[in-house]
Structure 1
Amino acid sequence: MRVIITSHAKKRLRDHRQGSLTIDDIITAAQLIPGSIPTATRFRGFFAKSGRIFDIVAKDIPGGRLVITIIGK
C-alpha cells in the first residue's frame, strides 16, 4: 500500500514531542492498520524503533493511505 505523508506531518517530525520519530516509523505504522479508513481517524499506541510511543491520524484516498498528522507522547 502506498503511504502519503502530508507536509504538515513532516513538519511535526521536527517538533520536540516527536523527537526520534522517523518517516520509516510512520510508514510502518500506517501499513499496519488493517482495513479501509473512509474518514480521518486517530490511531493510538504505535512504537517507533527508538521506543517512543506515537499516534497517527490517517485516511484512505484513491492514491493510497494519507497520513495527516502525527502526535508524539
Structure 2
Amino acid sequence: MIQMKVIITEHARKRLRDIRQDKITVADIVNAAGGLPGRIPTATRFRGFFAKSGRVFDIVAKDIPGGRLVITIIGK
C-alpha cells in the first residue's frame, strides 16, 4: 500500500495547541488522514479517530495535487 503524503495546514497545527485538542499529536493526525481510503475531492469531516493518548478527534480533509490536506482537527 502506498502511503499518501499528508499536509497539515497552519490552522490545524495551531488548533493542536488548544485545550480541546490536548494530547493529540501530529503523528496521530498523519496516521488518521493517511489511513483514509479512496479520493476525497471536497473538504469532508471524518469522525471517530483515536489518538495514542486515547483522545477522540475528528479531522476535516481533502485531496489536492500535492497530497492529502488536513484542514482542521476537532477534539472531543
TM-score range, shorter chain: over 0.9
TM-score normalised by structure 2 residue count: 0.95
Number of equivalenced pairs: 73
Q: Percent identity?
A: 78
Does 2:66 match 1:71? no
Amino acid at match of 1:62: P
Amino acid at match of 1:27: V
Report what 1:5 is aligned to.
Answer: 8
In the alignment, which of 46, 49, 52 is matched to residue 49 of structure 2? 46
Output the aligned Cα RMSD.
0.3
Structure 2 unaligned regions, length at least 5: none
User: After TM superposition, which residue ranges in structure 1, 4 or more long, deviate above 6 angstroms?
Assistant: none
TM-score normalised by structure 1 residue count: 0.99
Residue 30 of structure 1 aligns to a residue in which SS? helix
